Structure formats: C-alpha cells, structure tokens
Structure 1
Amino acid sequence: MTDATRVVAGTELPAAGTWKVDPGHAEVGFVGRHFLLTKVRGRFTGVDATLEIGEEIEDTTVRAVIDMATVDSGDQTRDEHLRSGDFFDVEHHPRATFESVSVTASGSEATMVGNLTIKDVSHPVALAVEYLGHARDPWGNDRAVFSARGKINREDWGLVWNMVLESGGLLVSKEIELVLEVEAIRSV
C-alpha cells in the first residue's frame, strides 16, 4: 500500500486517487433562518460521493448524489413539508447532484466551484473547502477529513415557498448556508 498522504509545497494533503465519502461519517447540511432570526439546521443522511484527488490538486473532482427524501431537520412535520412540492418535490425529483468544475487551492484550503442540481435546475456554487487531516481507522482504512461551507439563494433552484409575516418580513430566509463535514475513505 502506498502512502495515504503527500506533501505539496510544504503542506500535507491526501494522496492522489479515489476517495469515497463514508455516509456514516458525513454531515451534508444546511442552515436557514426562521422568522429571519432563528437558525434552523437540517441535513441529508443519504449521500453517495466520490472524490478523485488529482496529482495536481487543481485536477481534483467531486461527484455527489444526495437522496432528497433523507432530509432531517429534527422536526417530522417540517421534514414532510421540505419533501413536498413546496420545496424539494421528492416524488418527482428524488435526487440532487453536485459535480465540481474547478478547484483553486492554497495549502490545505481550496475553493471548489461546482454545479448543484436540485429539481432539475443547475447553478454554480462555490465552496470554501478545508482539508483537516488524515487518520487510519482501527480496520486499516485511510480516511481524509474535509470541511466545506458555501451560501446559496434557495430561490435560484425554484425553492420559493414562503409566507410574509405581519411585520413584513419573511417566514423562511432565502439565503441558505451549506455546511459539510465529511470523511472519505481511500479506495485501494
């Protein structure tokens, strides 16, 4: 087995090759605001993602498929509403995808731009990615750990349901923060 990491310009990074996201150790989440005040968090538990880490970090690609029916915000009624035609419409659009198109790296941090497709609508999204390190688990698997964040306007994907409050504000924020914490296992 070759080394799971390498040093690039003085920074330890994952070795080039295929790394598969471990869904049991992946947080693919979002944060919105209720009444434009309270943070409401949710996540998708059904995630299938592969990282092809390039010899040159800029050649790295990511492809992810998200099972939209697995949305979990901690409230069953809200989750059912998110699955409905008002939001994700999982009956007609069961999956969302993310496919990277570019990576710009500096040390252990990078900006990854990719096309996020929800309800058959695609728009570019920029994610600030940080490589947090490597660990070998008790079963001998090499794991690379990443954190990523980005912001989107949900209405760009046709997620426009909302209610105007008596005060004139909106019930649900348009701006959504994407928050990802993932472990990827190296394929041998």
Structure 2
Amino acid sequence: MSNDTTAATRVLDGVELPAEGTWKVDPGHAEVGFVGRHFLLTKVRGRFTGVDATVRIGARPEDSSVTAVLDMSSVDSGDRTRDDHLRSDDFFDVARYPTATFVSTSVAWDGTTGTLTGELTIKDVRRPVTLAVDYLGYARDPWENDRIVFSAKGRINREDWGLGWNMILDSGGLLVSKEIELVLEIEAIREG
C-alpha cells in the first residue's frame, strides 16, 4: 500500500507495518492468556475475556504505546471451581481489585519483531513486564474495518504481584508453579 494518510499500512525500511494512528483491540478476537503448571507438571491454561485495550502506532515504531485494562472477574480456565478460586482473595481478589492494567513504557522494534516493556498492575502492585512481540500482518475484514494482528509472549513470577497462594506437596514440590507464561494473540481495528 502507499504511504498516504488513508493507507492502513506503510513501508518502513522495506517492511510493511501498521500506519500511524490509534487501533482499538477487538475483545472478541483477543486472547489474553496465561499458562501455569499444576503439580509443576501439567500445563493449565487460562484467559481473560474482558479486555479493553488500545494500541497507538507512532510515526516511528519505537514511539508506539499500548494501554490495557483487564476485567479480572472474566478469568476462564475451563474449570468453574478453579476460576472461582482464582477470583478469590487467595489470588486476584476481584471483590477488592476488579481490574488489572498494563501501560507500556518503551518499545524496541526491528522489522516485524520487537519488545514491549510496561508496567503491569495486579492487586495495586505494579511491576515491570517485557513481552516479545511479533507483528503478524494486516487484513481488511468483510465490514471494511482495517485490522492488524500481533502475537506476544512473556514470563512473570506471580508472587511478585502478591499471588502467592500455594500448597507444598508430600513429595516436596509445589501444587501451582510460581512462573507463569503470558500468551497474547491480538487483533486491533483502526479507529477514525
């Protein structure tokens, strides 16, 4: 596509990237997920379905930013008992802390890959998080919306946010892993 102000993409250093502007994350096409381990063996996956996020693409990719709010009560791991436990004060304490936020602080970009660093706040505890990001491309949907697609991954220690509930097993291990993998698949729609 051309580099005019109406184009949804532009070419920078020989790579097609999203056009400068504001892109709203489509919650129906956003997977904000996490992966932990049960008995430190089995992968347990979950996600948040309540996502309100905006991606602002800068004139230079490194001037881009992301803000996100997660509805913590929307956690879904496929097991109602586990989800209720995650919502309890043992973990997210959604009665007192109904949302979590992410606000980017820096972006580094090289071609279609980069790193996004920001502050993740859960239960009023704010800690830095760095995500490896891949820009997967652009598509125009059947309703004439311009969409961009990103994938991102990172790792955190849940105890850094006060999510310390656990049980020691007879074998000496822990019931729930401290390390959590963050896995995101995001579609965003161009605004304006």
Please classify the TM superposition score into its range, dividing by the shorter chain length: over 0.9
Question: Identity of paired residues, percent?
Answer: 73
Residues 1:105 and 2:109 are matched in the alignment: yes
Which of 140, 156, 159 is equivalent to 1:155?
A: 159
Letter matched to residue 54 of structure 1: G
2:19 aligned to 15, 21, 27, which one?
A: 15
Aligned residues: 188
Show the 5 A alignment for 1:160-175.
Answer: 160-175=164-179
Distance 1:6 1:185 in 2: 16
Of 65, 73, 87, 2:69 maps to: 65
Cα offsets for 1:53-86 (capped at 9, x unmatched): 0000000010000000000000000000000000
State yes or no: 1:31 paired with 2:26.
no
| Equivalent of 1:117 in 111, 116, 121 | 121
CA distance in 2, matches of 1:144, 1:187: 12
Matches within 5 A, 1:43-82: 43-82=47-86
Task: Say whether 1:186 aligns with 2:157.
Answer: no
Matched, 1:176 2:192: no
Correspondences of 1:110-149 after superposition (within 5 Å): 110-149=114-153
Deviation at 1:166, TM superposition (A): 0.5
Q: Give the drift of 1:2.
A: 0.6
CA distance in 2, matches of 1:87, 1:19: 32
The alpha carbon displacement at 1:51 in A equals 0.5
Shift in Å, 1:42: 0.1
Structure 2 unpaired stretches of 5+: none
Matched AA of 1:175: E
TM-score of the pair, normalised by structure 1: 0.99
Q: Which runs of 4+ in 1 moved over 6 A?
A: none
AA at the equivalent of 1:66: L
TM-score, structure 2 normalization: 0.97
Shift of 1:35: 0.3
Amino acid at match of 2:149: V
Distance in 1 (CA, whole Å) between partners of 2:108 and 2:139 is: 24
* C-alpha RMSD of matched pairs (Å): 0.6
Stretches of structure 1 lacking an aligned partner (at least 5 in a row): none
